Chains A and B, each alone.
Chain A
Amino acid sequence: MTASTLAAPAAAPTTAAAHAPRSRAIWLIAPALVLLGVFLLLPYLNIVLMSLRPPAVGAPYGAGFTLGNYGRALTDGYLLGVLGDTLLLGLTVTPICLLLGYPVAFHLARTRSRWAGLLYVLVLSPLLVGVVVRSFGWLILLSGNGVINRALIDLGWIDTGLQLMNNRLGVTIALVHVFLPFMILPLVGVIQSIDPSLEAAARSLGASRLRAFLRVSLPLSWPGIQAGTVLVFVLTLSAYVTPVMLGGAQVKTVSVLVVQSLIDNFQWPAGAAQALVLTACGMLAVAAYARLTRRLSRGLA
């Protein structure tokens, strides 16, 4: 702005004109600030208050404050089991997404094919199709007499249907599908910014292709790997629809439990405490991971 005012021919009204638009420009962002301040920041502060309320009968919460909800959330064996299961789910889905997503991202970032646009849409489209619809697709595929079981029986490979859903396997498959684009997209961005000639240089110095990839491109794509894995891990922890639809009564995650506490049992303080304990665990895991990978990437460099 300052640089271009120098070039502007009408320099006379600058001071007045330049200050008026700036103070008026505040109105451009004011609606967003009000929306985010009132309906995002305040509610998040309020949820902390709610987790400190005592439970009540016939009302969502009682008067006064207590730490009891956290006490229960951290000592109840069942709740801790569900918390552990949820974290484990995140720790399974994330590496699988990385393993499946990295080659696709690398190819998509480097390809000069005229189908690149279509491939990009293919990666993006699952993200845009609703999560209920996608989980429904997996329901059709994985159910007792679903597409996969029927095909396997018709081929004579199995006699009775395999248990592919209402268990951890079904939830994992569907979650990998749901969150794979969140792994691929950040990776594509980072890999595109790596100069391909670096790898070519390593190869011309005698490195094998695998070695050139492992020593040059892979370390340089660390930021993308980090962004993608953190995103998928956090999203998996808070997933609700997919575990309900494909896990049945067998797979309980914290989100399922929280919604149960809120809607079915009308226990708002307990639900708030459970949700915050999960969020804290997720943040601790991400922080530990960031520390670990920082040391790791320093070692690589």
Chain B
Amino acid sequence: MNHGSMVADRVMDALLRVFIGAVYAFLLLPIVVIVLMSLNAGEFLTFPPQGLSLRWFGALFANEGFMRAMGTSLALAAAATVGATLIGTGAALYVVRHATRTREALRLLLMMPLMLPEILTAIALLFFLYATGIGTRTVFGLVVGHVLVTLPYVFTNVASALYNQDGSLEQAARSLGASPARAFVRVTLPLIKPGLITGALFAFVISFDLFNMSLLLKGVGMTTLPLQLFDYLRWDFDPTAAAVSTVSIVLTLAAVVWIDRSVGLRTLRFG
């Protein structure tokens, strides 16, 4: 290799690094801007902030509409997470441990809500709820929609945790006299715990932020945090909206750190 091509390589390397750094900055930019805006002491969304203050978080906590919407979103996300985790874990256990010829078809079916456009699924569900007389007067349809969208996240995470170990440990427990329930709680559950935590937290965060499904399936007079924020931004443009967004970002960050911790713990033990 001659000297010239080495210099060229080094220049290309540097340029590539700058480019990659710029893309990361692009990914972070809107999120950073929102957090800075929410700490703004000024009256309007100005940049750079006119001093730091938590006043807009105070305004947020005094805003009844936002607080009610946040309560709804948290409850909805909790319900969806419980539903998706129970249904998705069972499905993952079946697909990995029991399915043989149907495995690929089932896997495809379970991942389908992720591959179909959310808005089309929401529309289809809306029509279906009316056609069957269930309607949107109760939260049933909304919860079902959220469980549908979050199901693939639980399924895929639990399934990959299950793939990483064969069923011999449960069978050992069973052959030593443990009941199936006991073998599940004492052996299977600890083994799939990292996948379960990751899947459930993903499901919670995705449900908390879901927009299209909620827009079409919510009952009259009901609202979730993303919907309320969307409506708010139509008329107002003050840092309260940034404060709401920051709360949602912090919630997400907490979930990511939690996932990182639980996955990190696993690598510590097995890696």
Contact = CB atoms under 8 A, between A and B. Distances in A.
Interface of A: 1, 4-5, 8-10, 21-22, 25-29, 31-33, 35-36, 39-40, 42-44, 46-47, 50, 60, 100-101, 103-104, 107, 117, 119, 121-126, 128-134, 136-141, 146-147, 150-151, 177, 180-181, 208-210, 234-235, 237-238, 240-241, 245, 255, 258-259, 262-263, 268, 271-272, 275, 279
B148 A238 contact: no
A177 B256 contact: no
Contacts of B61: none
Contact of A272 (B94, B127, B208): B127
Contact of B90 (A32, A208, A235, A268): A32
A195 to B, nearest CB: 21
Given A40-B112, A130-B248, A137-B34, A238 B119 contact: yes
B131 interface: yes
A237 B124 CA distance: 17
Residues of B in contact with A, size category: 35 or more
A208 B1 CA distance: 9
14 contacts: A25-B94, A32-B110, A35-B148, A36-B151, A44-B121, A122-B24, A128-B205, A128-B209, A131-B226, A132-B211, A133-B248, A140-B45, A141-B30, A177-B30
A241 B230 contact: yes
A126 B211 contact: no
A223 B59 CA distance: 49
Majority SS of interface residues in chain B? helix
Contacts of A122: 24, 27-28
Contacts of A263: 215-216
Interface stretch (B15-23, B50-58, B189-197): B15-23
Nearest to A210: B12
A33 B168 CA distance: 27
B31 A32 contact: no
Contacts of A147: 33, 47
A238 B128 contact: no
Contacts, number: 228
B24 A104 contact: yes
A271 to B, nearest CB: 7
Given A40-B148, A241-B230, A50 B127 contact: yes
A46 B131 contact: yes
B95 A4 contact: no
B140 to A, nearest CB: 10
Contacts of A101: 23
A125 B128 contact: no
Find the residue from B29, B106, B117, B216 having the highest chain A CB count within 10 A.
B117
A137 to B, nearest CB: 2
Contacts of A107: 16, 20
Contacts of B166: 4
Find the residue from A5, A35, A136, A151 having the highest chain B CB count within 10 A.
A136
Given A123-B27, A129-B31, A132-B230, A268 B127 contact: yes
Given A35-B87, A132-B229, A140 B31 contact: no
B164 interface: no
A90 to B, nearest CB: 12
Given A132-B230, A237-B117, 15 more contacts: A5-B171, A27-B90, A32-B151, A36-B109, A43-B128, A46-B124, A46-B131, A100-B23, A103-B16, A125-B28, A125-B252, A128-B206, A209-B12, A245-B230, A272-B127
Contacts of B230: 132, 241, 245
Contact of B256 (A44, A119, A121, A262): A121
Contacts of A32: 87-88, 90-91, 110, 151, 155
A259 B256 contact: no
Contact of A103 (B20, B95, B126, B208): B20
Contacts of B41: none
A270 to B, nearest CB: 12
Interface string B209-230: 1111001100000000010011
Given A32-B88, A150-B47, A129 B252 contact: yes
A138 to B, nearest CB: 5
Find the residue from B9, B123, B168, B208 having the highest chain A CB count within 10 A.
B123
A39 B175 contact: no
Contacts of A237: 117
A206 to B, nearest CB: 9
B123 A117 contact: no
A35 B144 contact: yes
A90 B158 CA distance: 33
